[in-house]
Chain A
Amino acid sequence: MASVVHFRLLSAKFASLALNNISNRSVHYSAVSNNNTETQPCEKPNSLEEMTLLRSINNALDLALERDPSAIVFGEDVAFGGVFRCTKDLRDKYGKNRVFNTPLAEQGIVGFGIGAACAGSTAIAEIQFADYILPAFDQIVNEAAKYRYRSGNEFDCGKLTIRAPCGLVGHGGLYHSQSNEAFFSHAAGLKIVIPRGPYQAKGLLLSCIRDENPCLFFEPKALYRHAKDHIPTEYYELPLSKADVMEKGEDLTIIAWGGLVHVASEVVQMVRENFGKSCELIDLQTILPWDEETVFASARKTGRVIIAHEAPKTSGFGAEMSAAIQENCLYHLKAPVKRVAGYDIPVPHVFEKFYGPTKWKLIDAVEKILDE
């Protein structure tokens, strides 16, 4: 159960609406607006380097392997550097016993990772595409998520991190496009994290690797080569279960994660310029356990909330958030919570530009919610 398509990474064809914004913009680390600055240990980095998302992940894995002699990196085709180049050069640097290929079996990869973590090793597993994580669903949901609980904390697999490229990529069709975070959000015991850029990817991945709970780290593959950032070369972590308020606003809250944050960011700008309204933009970053406090505070302030995700609408994570917001913030709301999501269909190849949330669908939603 693995990719039949070997991607030519991010061809020009895929430079879709989603990326108009970031492909022309290099985000300096200090320009990343963030209200969690006190928890970020890298305010004054010794050195910065411009990195793509994939380079920042490679850099994070490098640092994790360097700091922790028990750490191992494994999965399908990771030895030669990975089909997305995220594990490039790591085998040469740390040896074939620490960075290695596994047979082509996702349930084996995750089960193997659980066992290694259980024995105290830091296990960093790669699933080649999030679309192919489902053969490991049993190992993740029944085993990894419940290991500590069912053993009364006698055993745990907290040192397991599973990385998987996710999301729309322009031409991925049904099985190279999925965002299946919501499936896993129903499994207490897991942490689920999705970064939006190189700075967040490195800091959040290092947090996942060191966190004492099994983590799923979904990497928006559309950003691998397109998102660039000047980021610290040294080790740093960003806190899990902490949303990032990227822009402050008064009239409306937009919540997104992964690559969609950049679409939303463009929309925020357009709404300001065209409608004269200020949006609060929140990158959720951690899907489970999610930062209810930050989201509720924003919803209470603006009274209008739009949640955007690429995954299908029905039972997508937006549904959970929307229900929680109305349960906790009902009397502050001026309009029903809106969800702009993928349709309840598989991701179709030639129709992809029509499938997911685009900036136009978001602007349409903004117009409607402001009218209510």
Chain B
Amino acid sequence: MASRIFASISRLSSNGCITVNIIKSGHKLGLQFDTISVANNTRALSTSGRVFQEPQKDHHHHVNERHHNEAHHHLPNQCAPISSQLNFIEPSSIPRVPAYRVLNPDGSLNDDLDPTLTDDKIVSMYEQMVQLNAFDKIMFDSQRQGRISFYMTNFGEEAVAFGSAAALDGRDWIFAQYREAGILLQRGMPLKLMLAQCYGNKEDLGKGRQMPIHYGNRSLNFAPISSPLTVQLPQAAGTAYALKQRGEGQIVVTYFGEGAASEGDAHAAMNFAATLDCPIIFFCRNNGYAISTPTNEQYASDGIVNRGLGYGMSSVRVDGNDLFAVYAVTRRARHLCQHESRPCLIEAMTYRVGHHSTSDDSSAYRSADEVRQWEQEVGPLKRVYNYLCAQGLWSEERQTACLKEARANVIEALNWAESIKKLPVSSMFDDVYDELPDSLRRQRDELKEHLEKYGKHYPLAEHEGI
């Protein structure tokens, strides 16, 4: 039957390796592996300052077995050794979880790690990052000019979107928060469709009902973004459960910021996913701020990553400005989800370079120097640029041409989006239900009648009629 192994973390070295002492059948063994392989090889439950490990297969069965065998400890509901030492576990006694890094800010490779992406792939990912960056700049300005009502940029978090999305299967479902537009570009969403959403014109898949940047796309398995924070997390767990039952190997990735992680839904979702064995990646973008609130006012712990352990999930922290590391970590996480049908947590450490949104002036709560440092010295684009140049795969000329093309693409789509009308006014009553109930039919007719009489007081010309 399943054997029981107790292990304690005895040392965390500076390069992120953990030395683990494993005690099995009275014999003490020493093992060393990096944090990624911790995630891969164990289910870790922190109990009494120790790490309890159990085989992944058939772990529910194992849990029952455990209850039975541990009865002599007289400890309900928990497999824990007995101690005569009265010790609280102090957070300060636990080493900070290291962040996995492949690509250094200067473009060199950390510890000679392999980017695991082909040169062509890296170049095309970089081009897409530049495209997103250009899109953001133009859209931000267009909001400032009053052409769209609202916008949120992705500045500084481009590696999170492209690195993770590239590691997934296109059939995997995405539940995003709102600062993950890069995933849609990676999946091939046309710029025109994204602009149609921001303009709410008749080509918008969402039919002009939601605020700008609330994208959704059925054919790309990208669930519709909604403003309430963290609601997508338990939903994503439910989708993952349904996909698992269908058995077609798809997984779910849900993205959220470190601020959203404070919502109750985050707690519910992770606990559900872990107890119901859902193939889902919880991907946290820890960018230092939730609007004006810095992380030291958001949580008192070592970030989000260690919460995953509390729920019984494999968890890892990654340098979120490092395209290669985000890719590698997500690929490993996806493997865990698909082949072992269990959730995992990724915390990507990054920095929100832009304002929170077009309704926010971040200089009211942080310094311009701080922002400049992250943008220019360690930003995700700059890093890949340095790498590509060092490898002889990129040049200043190519950079100029790439930027020019990226801007031209956005301008073309923007001009198109502005020229398209909005849907007929009465379409605002559609899709509340699958069919229009009589009560809504009457309200729709009332509005029609009203507009026939008072239409000149309304911006009817923007719409394709009443």
Chain A residues engaging chain B, CB cutoff 8 angstroms: 70, 72, 97, 100, 102-103, 105, 107-108, 110-121, 123, 135, 138-139, 142-143, 146-156, 158, 188-189, 191, 212-213, 241, 289-290, 292-293
Q: Are B238 and A116 within 8 A (Cβ)?
A: yes
Provide the residues of chain A in CB contact with B207, threshold 8 Å: 152-153
Known: A115-B239, A119-B173. A107 touches B209 (CB 8 A): no
The answer for the CA separation of A116 and B223 in the assembled complex, in Å, is: 12
Q: How far is the CB of B237 from chain A (nearest CB, A)?
A: 6
Provide the residues of chain A in CB contact with B209, threshold 8 Å: 149-150, 152
Known: A148-B434, A152-B204, A154-B224. A111 touches B238 (CB 8 A): yes
The answer for the CA separation of A158 and B264 in the assembled complex, in Å, is: 24
Contact with A along B216-260 (1 / 0, CB 8 A): 111000011010100101111111111101100000000000000
A-B contact pairs, 27 of them (CB 8 A): A72-B242, A107-B234, A107-B265, A108-B234, A108-B271, A111-B231, A111-B233, A111-B265, A112-B237, A112-B241, A112-B269, A114-B234, A115-B235, A115-B239, A119-B239, A139-B265, A142-B226, A142-B231, A143-B226, A143-B228, A150-B206, A150-B210, A151-B224, A154-B205, A158-B434, A189-B433, A213-B433
Q: Are A111 and B235 within 8 A (Cβ)?
A: yes
The answer for the CA separation of A254 and B391 in the assembled complex, in Å, is: 82
Q: How far is the CB of B208 from chain A (nearest CB, A)?
A: 8
The answer for the CA separation of A111 and B252 in the assembled complex, in Å, is: 15
Q: Are A143 and B433 within 8 A (Cβ)?
A: no
Known: A103-B268, A113-B238, A151-B216. A289 touches B431 (CB 8 A): no
The answer for the CA separation of A114 and B217 in the assembled complex, in Å, is: 17
The answer for the CA separation of A241 and B436 in the assembled complex, in Å, is: 12
The answer for the CA separation of A188 and B432 in the assembled complex, in Å, is: 7
Within 8 A of A (CB), among B287-336: none
Provide the residues of chain B in CB contact with A293, threshold 8 Å: 438
Q: How far is the CB of A370 from chain B (nearest CB, A)?
A: 31
Q: Are A115 and B433 within 8 A (Cβ)?
A: no
Provide the residues of chain B in CB contact with A143, threshold 8 Å: 226, 228, 231, 235
Q: Are B224 and A119 within 8 A (Cβ)?
A: no
Provide the residues of chain A in CB contact with B276, threshold 8 Å: 100, 102, 112
The answer for the CA separation of A123 and B267 in the assembled complex, in Å, is: 21
Q: Are A105 and B267 within 8 A (Cβ)?
A: yes
Q: Are B238 and A123 within 8 A (Cβ)?
A: yes
Q: Are B231 and A115 within 8 A (Cβ)?
A: no
Q: Are A139 and B239 within 8 A (Cβ)?
A: no
Contact with A along B425-466 (1 / 0, CB 8 A): 000001111100111100000000000000000000000000
Provide the residues of chain B in CB contact with A153, threshold 8 Å: 207, 430-431
The answer for the CA separation of A139 and B228 in the assembled complex, in Å, is: 9
The answer for the CA separation of A148 and B207 in the assembled complex, in Å, is: 11
Q: How far is the CB of B62 from chain A (nearest CB, A)?
A: 16
Determine whether B272 belongs to the interface, using a CB cutoff of 8 Å to chain A.
yes
Determine whether B3 belongs to the interface, using a CB cutoff of 8 Å to chain A.
no
Residue in chain A with minimal CB distance to B210: A150
| 20 further A-B pairs in the complex, CB-CB below 8 A; given A150-B216, A154-B218 | A102-B276, A103-B271, A105-B264, A105-B267, A108-B271, A112-B238, A112-B241, A112-B276, A115-B234, A115-B237, A115-B242, A119-B173, A119-B243, A120-B242, A138-B265, A143-B235, A148-B432, A154-B205, A155-B223, A213-B434
Provide the residues of chain B in CB contact with A103, threshold 8 Å: 268, 271-272, 275
Q: How far is the CB of B137 from chain A (nearest CB, A)?
A: 27
Q: How far is the CB of A25 from chain B (nearest CB, A)?
A: 34
Provide the residues of chain A in CB contact with B430, threshold 8 Å: 153
Q: Are A139 and B231 within 8 A (Cβ)?
A: yes
Q: How far is the CB of A102 from chain B (nearest CB, A)?
A: 6
Q: How far is the CB of B463 from chain A (nearest CB, A)?
A: 16
The answer for the CA separation of A126 and B269 in the assembled complex, in Å, is: 17
Q: How far is the CB of A189 from chain B (nearest CB, A)?
A: 5
Query: Nearest 3 CB-CB pairs, A to B?
Result: A115-B238, A111-B234, A108-B268
Determine whether B422 belongs to the interface, using a CB cutoff of 8 Å to chain A.
no
Q: Are A152 and B438 within 8 A (Cβ)?
A: no
Q: Are B235 and A112 within 8 A (Cβ)?
A: yes
Determine whether B214 belongs to the interface, using a CB cutoff of 8 Å to chain A.
yes
Q: Are A116 and B241 within 8 A (Cβ)?
A: yes
The answer for the CA separation of A171 and B236 in the assembled complex, in Å, is: 39
Q: Are A146 and B226 within 8 A (Cβ)?
A: yes
The answer for the CA separation of A158 and B435 in the assembled complex, in Å, is: 12
- Cross-chain contact of B206 among A97, A107, A154, A158 (Cβ < 8 A): A154
- Cross-chain contact of B235 among A114, A121, A148 (Cβ < 8 A): A114
Q: How far is the CB of B42 from chain A (nearest CB, A)?
A: 22
